Amino acid sequence: MKPANHFIADMPRRDFLQASLKGGVALAASPSLMASLLSAMEGGAAAAKLDPDPQMLNRIIRAALQKGGDFAEVYVENRIARDILLEESKVKQAVFGISRGAGVRVIAGDKTGYAYTDEISEDKLKRAAEVASYVARGSKPSAPVALQKASRPSFVSVTVPLQDVADARRVEIMQRADQAALSHDPRIRMASISYYDEIRGRTIANSEGLLLNDELPLLFFIVQTLGVGANTRHMGRERLSMHAGFEMFDRVKPEEVARACARESIAMLAAEDCPAGKMDIVMQNGWGGVLVHEAVGHPLEADNIARQIGVFTGKMGQKVASDIFTMVDDGSIPNARGTTDFDDEGTPMRRNVLIEKGVLKLFMTDFLSARQLKMARTGNGRRESFRNMPIPRMTNTFIDNGRDKPEDILASTPKGIYVQSLSGGSVNPTTGMFNFTCREAYLIENGKKTRPVKGATLIGSCLDIISNIDAVGNDLDFGPGICGKGQNAEVNAGQPTVRIRGINVGGTRA
Amino acid sequence: MDYKSLAGQLVQTCLKKGADSAEIFIQTGRQLRIEVRNGDIETVQEAASQGIGFRIFAGGRMAFASCNDFSDAATASAIDSAVRFAQQTTADPNNVLPDDKGNTPVADLYDEGIGRVVMERKIELAQTVERLALKDSRITKSAGSRYAEGEAEIFLANSHGLSKGYKSSSCSLGVSVVAEKGAQKSSGNDSCSRRFFADLKKPDEIAAKAARKAYEMIDPRMVKTQRAAVIFDTDVAGALLGGILAAVNGERVLQGASFLGTRLNQKIASPLLTIVDDGTRVKGPASRPFDGEGVPTQKRLIVDQGVLKGFMYNTIIARRAGVKTTGNASRGGFTDVPGIGPHNFYIAAGANSREDIIAATQKGLLLTEVTGYGINPVNGDFSGGASGFWIEGGKIAFPVKGLTIAGRADEILNALDMMGNDLDLNRATAAPTFRIPEMQIGGE
């Protein structure tokens, strides 16, 4: 149980998920089934409805603060998910899951107690409240404010609700992607199409009197294709994810996702050995933003600042990066993968400028770290499910647009590596050392992108990276991913095309 | 609760609702996690959890559902949804359930005493390991200490008459600290995980290693980009084993997505390399009497003195490949369809001591941390971030950070020329210290 480095991946890391006994559940149903399912469950367990009785929640919050403590919260969650896998042109897996439960959190000073239950009954919640209040023994008791139903603006619009989509339509989308991938090139020997959707209902109630609930859809569509060449193979990958209804596939066609993936699989069959050592990097716009997500984003999460161990501790207001570097976390971008209406503590989402023209402006906080640092809550208190307590997490995190034209950035780089896409990476939040694996990369020779090179590792330290970014393009774009920090969160990472001077590249030749 | 009869009833319900065969996987458990920072409790998290996974088959089609509500209405709905969802999947005659009613007896997976140790004792353990790690004057900050424990019970039944279960437990103690010098920060952590509470290492041993890992890496230097020997420390076993593990996954082999796919019974590595998958080891962290779909586990040679001896299979993939299941159906939890995965997966110990290996190395890298994905199982390419110690003239000279290492699996595995005797089987994925005589190292 080594505290894992923070990692980010562009698709689910099953191994990581399997490391703990947990049940974020995949669940799916055709519309009529969904209705009968929910009504059946509610008939069977009356206490498990999506809109828990506020009076009951009031009683739980009071119970949680009985031994002392200055903050208590009840979080109730209901998640219905479908997970379908089409591989080797066969629908191999169809997984449907229902997960519901509730967590109770008690904070006393800097101490947090957390307990959860799979069964949403008053008895079980009282028991969770008692367990969670263990940390508050002997502290000064406080009286909770009576719950008052609140509302928040929504940043997630839905045209075709997932509830109204027949399973056969989901499979049809996957088959279209499979066909498009396989017909792209005879060297594409296999496609693996993974479809996931969920509807997550949340109720948040706390001792400040806040009572909120909502329901958010999420779609995650991943295409992988295996390209086979004379003596090599390459597995390409392309993803699409939004908090949206099924209309996502009208905006971006499954065939486009599949062809983009197949293109990568074929292009990389010609990859040569990558040189090793310090080199200049031009990183294409989009998912490359994971590099700053890891290298700069995690160190700007306020929990490690409050613990005074983060690399940015004590640097607020100081110049930490070059003038052209502005970094933003914005959980209010309409329908984006990292967007919600409010975070899992009920704080509204907003645009947070973290570093502005090189100057450190803001840390990303949750309730506890905001209080410890006497800072505002920024809407970054997120949790994977009711089995986890909220901690500071990123949402949609990106380097903001600069003024350079992407083609000029490349043309003015005589020699280096053009990184078209990354798989993922990790950072040690204390030391700021990060690493990334390239999925598609090319040599830059005389200002031109030339031959493809094999998946190399990029490493460095976060403070070096942000001072070595010397060109920022005007073509901001995003890519979807999964961020791990003891628990998973769905995020977007983004950037315009950027150039970073002198990154260490792990190639196989000198 | 009587999980045996519940599982049996649920299998029958699946058959009544239209399945022609079915499997029920029940998982219940309890977890506790205590985090301490600067002598005081930071968080205490405690919970009991439960869930059921339903795998149903109808006309060769397969689907899966899960729920964490054990009421009749909830389980009936989950089964209905799985039966309905199955209509969307592709029929495959290989979609079958196992019928092996056997169990591999594995001793000591469950310590019933863990839950009886009082909470205060566990908090004190976490406080002690932190205090001891901060004792060294080079250590400036705590990044927290942790005690965690879990108990789980698994019960599995299927319509071929399988009905089996087991209990397991684990507990762990760990600490992370920071050493600082000027603007430099270096973090170090160590932890110990065991099935039995009484088997946990003493806090002073864990504390000393965490502190050492932090202060040893102060004042790192950079080396030139070059080819040199790389000695893999026991802490980085996963860097090499992870990619091999994925490459011996029988499904990947069938898909043509493994660099080892066509190499069965061929030499793929130095004769010093023997790799074992063992589900049967007493108290093993990944031991279990049966795999994720109820097939008895075994101890198998994956690589025998450099020769690839076998791939890993579950029932369905084995049938597709025309072989017998190897008892490697993996299941992350009740929400997961069985996949393919290892048990205790390790490189067998060799003859050399770690000191011998270092002393025999004129110039190279003692690798103590690798970042990245390790060996790419599709094509065997390897590239990672590296830190550790530079070795000159058979001695550790100075710490190094921010390097990269890279190579190709076939070259690395065949070149391996020294295998250590310091294998620690308390880790689920383990290797002794070993040496690759030459790899590409990226520096300045």
Averaged pLDDT, B282-291: 96
* Rounded CA separation B159/B164 (Å): 12
- Residue A17 pLDDT grade (very low, low, confident, very high; cuts 50, 70, 90): very low
- Which two tokens mark B215? 């202060």
Q: B197 in the Ramachandran plot: left (φ > 0), alpha (ψ -120 to 50) or beta?
A: alpha
**pLDDT tens, residue by residue, B318-337:** 999 999 999 999 998 999 99
- Which two tokens mark B383? 């590239």
A482 and A353 inside one domain: yes
> What is the structure's pLDDT at A50?
63
- Which two tokens mark A445? 């020779």
* Rounded CA separation A280/B130 (Å): 42
Interchain pair B88, A45: CB under 8 A? no
Does residue A150 or residue A433 have the better pLDDT? A150
**Measured between CA atoms, how close is A22 to chain B, in angstroms?**
7
Q: Which residues of chain B lie closer than 8 angstroms to A235, CB-CB?
A: 257, 378
Query: Measured between CB atoms, does B193 come within 8 Å of chain A?
Result: yes
Q: B38 in the Ramachandran plot: left (φ > 0), alpha (ψ -120 to 50) or beta?
A: left
Range of weakest confidence among A156-170, A298-312, B27-41, B335-349 = A298-312
Flag whether pLDDT at B13 surpasses 80. Answer: yes
* Rounded CA separation A75/A103 (Å): 5
Residue B94, judged by CB atoms within 10 A of its CB (0-12, 13-18, 19+), counts as: middle
* Rounded CA separation A190/A11 (Å): 18
* Rounded CA separation A380/A400 (Å): 19
**pLDDT tens, residue by residue, A301-349:** 999 999 888 889 899 999 999 899 999 999 999 999 999 999 999 999 9
* Rounded CA separation A299/B291 (Å): 40
A42 and A182 inside one domain: no
Interface of B with A in 23-42 (CB under 8 A): 27, 29, 31, 37, 40-42
**pLDDT tens, residue by residue, B43-69:** 999 998 999 999 999 999 999 999 999
**Measured between CA atoms, how close is A448 to chain B, in angstroms?**
24
Flag whether pLDDT at B413 surpasses 80. Answer: yes
Question: Which of A309, A456, A510 lies closest to B383 in CB terms?
Answer: A456
Query: Measured between CB atoms, does B74 come within 8 Å of chain A?
Result: yes
Taken in order B368, B371, B377, B379, the sign of the CA dihedral is negative
Query: Measured between CB atoms, does B320 come within 8 Å of chain A?
Result: no
Residue type (1 letter), B37: R
Distance of CA A8 to the CA centre of its chain: 8
Flag whether pLDDT at A48 surpasses 70. Answer: no
- Which two tokens mark B213? 């890992």
Q: Which residues of chain B lie closer than 8 angstroms to A468, CB-CB?
A: none
Residue type (1 letter), B15: L
Averaged pLDDT, B214-230: 95
Flag whether pLDDT at B169 surpasses 80. Answer: yes
CB atoms within 10 A of CB A160: 16
Interchain pair A235, B257: CB under 8 A? yes
Averaged pLDDT, A115-122: 92
* Residue percentage of chain B with pLDDT more than 70: 100
Best mutation target among B50, B371, B410 (most A Cβ atoms within 10 Å) is: B371
Interface of B with A in 385-414 (CB under 8 A): 385-387, 401-408
> What is the structure's pLDDT at B261?
96
A417 and A491 inside one domain: yes
- Residue A33 pLDDT grade (very low, low, confident, very high; cuts 50, 70, 90): very low
> What is the structure's pLDDT at A20?
27
Query: Helices B3-16 & B72-85, crossing angle to 10 degrees?
Result: 40
Helix residue ranges, H only, A226-342:
248-251, 254-267, 290-292, 302-306
Interchain pair A41, B74: CB under 8 A? yes
Interface of A with B in 329-358 (CB under 8 A): none
Assigned domain for A15 exists = no
Interchain pair B174, A3: CB under 8 A? yes
* Residue percentage of chain A with pLDDT more than 90: 75
Q: Which residues of chain B lie closer than 8 angstroms to A308, CB-CB?
A: 141
Pair B51, B142: CB distance under 8 Å? no
Flag whether pLDDT at A39 surpasses 70. Answer: no
Query: Measured between CB atoms, does A314 come within 8 Å of chain B?
Result: no
> What is the structure's pLDDT at B249?
97
Give kind and range of the element (H or E) at residue B402.
strand B395-408
> What is the structure's pLDDT at B125?
98
Pair A419, A458: CB distance under 8 Å? yes
Q: Which residues of chain B lie closer than 8 angstroms to A43, CB-CB?
A: 73
- Which two tokens mark A376? 């505002």
**pLDDT tens, residue by residue, A440-477:** 999 999 999 999 998 788 988 888 888 899 999 999 99
Query: Measured between CB atoms, does A311 come within 8 Å of chain B?
Result: yes
* Residue percentage of chain A with pLDDT more than 70: 91
The structural domains of chain B, with segments of one domain joined by +, span 3-215, 220-444
- Residue A434 pLDDT grade (very low, low, confident, very high; cuts 50, 70, 90): confident
Q: What residue in B sits closest to A14 (Cα-Cα)?
A: B332
A104 and A183 inside one domain: no
- Which two tokens mark B275? 């790799």
**pLDDT tens, residue by residue, A262-280:** 999 999 999 999 998 899 9
Flag whether pLDDT at A42 surpasses 70. Answer: no
A125 and A251 inside one domain: no
Best mutation target among A10, A13, A90, A233 (most B Cβ atoms within 10 Å) is: A233
Across chain A, mean pLDDT equals 88
Averaged pLDDT, B105-122: 94
Query: Helices A122-132 & A54-64, crossing angle to 10 degrees?
Result: 30
Query: Measured between CB atoms, does B214 come within 8 Å of chain A?
Result: no
Fold of the CATH domain B3-215: PmbA/TldD fold (3.30.2290)
A187 and A285 inside one domain: no
Assigned domain for A186 exists = yes
Residue A140, judged by CB atoms within 10 A of its CB (0-12, 13-18, 19+), counts as: exposed
Best mutation target among A50, A75, A82, A459 (most B Cβ atoms within 10 Å) is: A459
Assigned domain for A5 exists = no
Give kind and range of the element (H or E) at residue A405.
none
Interface of A with B in 79-98 (CB under 8 A): 82, 84, 87-88, 90-98
- Non-local CB neighbours of A39 within 8 Å, separated by 6+ positions: none
Averaged pLDDT, B186-215: 96
* Rounded CA separation A419/B67 (Å): 42
A·B CB contacts under 8 A: 325
- Non-local CB neighbours of B125 within 8 Å, separated by 6+ positions: B147, B173, B200, B203
> What is the structure's pLDDT at B255?
93
**pLDDT tens, residue by residue, A214-236:** 999 999 999 999 999 998 999 99
Interchain pair B49, A116: CB under 8 A? yes
> What is the structure's pLDDT at A70?
94
Angle at A134 between CA A128 and CA A135, to 5 degrees: 125
Query: Helices A167-182 & A254-267, crossing angle to 10 degrees?
Result: 30
* Rounded CA separation A70/B443 (Å): 51
Interchain pair B82, A41: CB under 8 A? no
Does residue A12 or residue A47 have the better pLDDT? A12
Length of chain B: 444
Averaged pLDDT, A185-202: 96
A328 and A352 inside one domain: yes
Pair B242, B371: CB distance under 8 Å? no
**pLDDT tens, residue by residue, B227-275:** 999 999 999 988 889 999 999 999 999 999 999 999 999 999 999 999 9
- The DSSP symbol for A38 reads H
ipTM here: 0.90
Question: Which of A2, A96, A504 lies closest to B402 in CB terms?
Answer: A504
Range of weakest confidence among A13-17, A289-293, A393-397, B411-415 = A13-17
**pLDDT tens, residue by residue, B16-50:** 999 999 999 999 999 999 999 999 999 999 998 99
Query: Measured between CB atoms, does B297 come within 8 Å of chain A?
Result: no
> Does residue A379 sit in helix, strand or coil?
coil
Flag whether pLDDT at B316 surpasses 70. Answer: yes
Q: What is the CA radius of gyration of chain B?
A: 24
Q: Which residues of chain A lie closer than 8 angstroms to B54, CB-CB?
A: none
How far CA B285 is from CA of A490, B107, B153, B288, in Å, comes to 30, 12, 15, 9
- The DSSP symbol for B283 reads T
Interchain pair B227, A510: CB under 8 A? yes
Assigned domain for A201 exists = no
* Rounded CA separation A181/B383 (Å): 28
Residue ranges making up the domain that contains A241? 167-196+217-269
Assigned domain for A144 exists = yes
* Residue percentage of chain B with pLDDT more than 90: 92
Residue B180, judged by CB atoms within 10 A of its CB (0-12, 13-18, 19+), counts as: middle
Query: Measured between CB atoms, does B337 come within 8 Å of chain A?
Result: yes
Q: Which residues of chain B lie closer than 8 angstroms to A25, CB-CB?
A: 51, 66-68, 335
Interface of A with B in 422-441 (CB under 8 A): 423-426, 428, 430-437
* Rounded CA separation B273/B419 (Å): 8
* Rounded CA separation A346/A367 (Å): 10
Per DSSP, which regions of A88-166 are E strands?
90-108, 111-117, 148-149
- The DSSP symbol for A319 reads B
**Measured between CA atoms, how close is B177 to chain A, in angstroms?**
10
> What is the structure's pLDDT at A49?
37
* Rounded CA separation A16/A25 (Å): 15
What number of CA atoms fall less than 13 Å from residue A253's CA on the CB side? 9
- Residue B383 pLDDT grade (very low, low, confident, very high; cuts 50, 70, 90): confident
> What is the structure's pLDDT at A11?
61
Pair A205, A147: CB distance under 8 Å? yes
> What is the structure's pLDDT at B210?
97
**pLDDT tens, residue by residue, A249-261:** 999 999 999 999 9
**Measured between CA atoms, how close is B209 to chain A, in angstroms?**
13
The count of structural domains within chain A is 3
Interchain pair B46, A131: CB under 8 A? yes
Interchain pair A97, B65: CB under 8 A? yes
Averaged pLDDT, A104-131: 95
Question: Which of A5, A23, A228 lies closest to B49 in CB terms?
Answer: A23
> What is the structure's pLDDT at A12?
56
- The DSSP symbol for B321 reads H
* Rounded CA separation A276/A504 (Å): 8
